[in-house]
Amino acid sequence: MTTFSQELFSQEYARQLDAQDPISHLRDEFHIPKQANGEDEIYFCGNSLGLQPKRTQEYLNYELSQWQKLGVKGHFSGDFPWMPYHEFLTEESAKLVGAKKSEVVCMNSLTANLHFMMVSFYRPTAKRHKILIEDHAFPSDHYAVESQLRYHGHDPKESMLLATPRDGEPTLRTEDILKLIAEQGDEIALIMLPGVQYYTGQVLDMQAITKAGHAKGCKVGFDLAHAAGNIPMQLHDWNVDFAAWCSYKYLNSGPGSVAGCFVHEKHHNAEDFLNNELPRFAGWWGHDKESRFRMENNFMPIESVESWQLSNPPILSLAAIRASLDTVKQAGGIQVLRTKGIKLAAYLRQLLEQELSQDITILTPKETAASGCQLSLVVDLHGLDSKTVFDRIEAAGVTCDFRYPNVIRVAPVPLYNSFEDCYKFVTILKSSLEA
């Protein structure tokens, strides 16, 4: 756990920490929203929508210019031709999630990718038909799992297995998840959990869960919406079957931008698809690149995760992702961001504990390995509720978010947030509680 001086609650001390930060200059690479008085917002909402890198406009304008000048020839011309454009994102995406380049691709949206993955990896039988997710999963994940169960003729009340926290505890215990897998694993076809739980900010032990699931014959996949760009991962080495993530939170690629997908190389054998041992929905962008335009209507899957692609992707969105990935690369990669992210979250936590321990409960685990950038806060002050306090801090220049019934989520992210942001946030929060 990172420790700080006892004099940490001062603007001067926060500025000293920023002066010691080797990547503080990256804040200048982003557009920071302004308050009505012209000052920067305290933007702690990168867990929902990351800010725009300044280079994004340049990258988008380049593609608009190519379209303007070249028309359809832009698919094959210029520095970044559109035909292979998704390949320009592969190397940096692979580094983010700890994968081989053949295992990652940018395509579709997050929930669409989860559905496509379940087409392949949820293969229920009369005995093995359950899907394990967490209680209070992100609604879209819950809906996707529930609809997949119904599609296969199973009753979600019987086939949806929920991992729940213990009474009185806000977060899951790894030993309880592993115990559930050990006890019911013979009936579990698929484990699909988050890398980082959206509501509490808890980081799950993906490696241990994957190992336990495979030991019982389950397929294991993860929703990395709140993990990608937040924490380092080793999906290949952990032997995860599949994963999917959005790119507009910690990866700053713009609202609704194209998502990412991982499929372990052990599942890339074309014969597994052709023999229906690993079925998938097919489209022409997943067809062998050398023969794709022969139009022979004889699907031959690419022997990589690319075979799960359906259509050619939206280039403008991929250009925004390329801008965001280049910004991460400029920072030095995910390990550098994680190092600063740990320090930012620890500083914010210590400020809250020192100044507001009687009024605020932090749901997010304190252990570094079990937490990322996000802290989930609940107001405990008599006569006040979290939503009222959220409205007050928002009016005072803070952008974070509120999740019902009572959680304020704040996420100081290392690419553009500062230690001074953390100090200012706690100052505003204190005033809002006193009001």
- Residue 389 in domain: yes
- Residue 255 in domain: yes
**247 and 305, same structural domain?**
yes
**172 and 230, same structural domain?**
yes
- Residue 324 in domain: yes
**236 and 118, same structural domain?**
yes
Mention every residue, 6+ apart, whose C-beta is less than 8 A from residue 59.
319, 320, 322, 323
Q: How far is the C-alpha of 386 from the C-alpha of 402, rounded, in Å?
A: 8
Which burial class, exposed, middle or buried, applies to 58 when counting CB atoms under 10 A from its CB (0-12, 13-18, 19+)? exposed
What pLDDT, on the 0 to 100 scale, is given for residue 3? 62
**251 and 167, same structural domain?**
yes
- Residue 185 in domain: yes
Of 296, 328, 360, which residue is a domain's last? 328
Q: How far is the C-alpha of 154 from the C-alpha of 163, rounded, in Å?
A: 19
Report helix, strand and coil shares of the chain as percent, to nearest 5: 45, 15, 40
Which residue range is the domain that position 186 belongs to? Answer: 62-328
**93 and 22, same structural domain?**
no
**197 and 341, same structural domain?**
no
**146 and 21, same structural domain?**
no
Q: How far is the C-alpha of 422 from the C-alpha of 426, rounded, in Å?
A: 6
**220 and 289, same structural domain?**
yes
What pLDDT, on the 0 to 100 scale, is given for residue 274? 87
Of 278, 306, 328, which residue is a domain's last? 328
- Residue 160 in domain: yes
Of 304, 328, 352, which residue is a domain's last? 328
Residues of the chain with pLDDT under 70: 1-6
**205 and 104, same structural domain?**
yes
Which is nearest to 183 in space by CA: 204, 161, 165, 202? 161
What pLDDT, on the 0 to 100 scale, is given for residue 345? 98
Question: Structural domain tally of the chain?
Answer: 2
- Residue 188 in domain: yes
**311 and 389, same structural domain?**
no
- Residue 36 in domain: no
The CATH number covering residue 278 comes to 3.40.640.10
**365 and 294, same structural domain?**
no
The CATH number covering residue 393 comes to 3.90.1150.10
Residue type, 82: W
- Residue 186 in domain: yes
Q: How far is the C-alpha of 34 from the C-alpha of 41, rounded, in Å?
A: 5
- Whole-number average pLDDT of the chain: 96
Percentage above 90 pLDDT, the chain: 95
**381 and 320, same structural domain?**
no
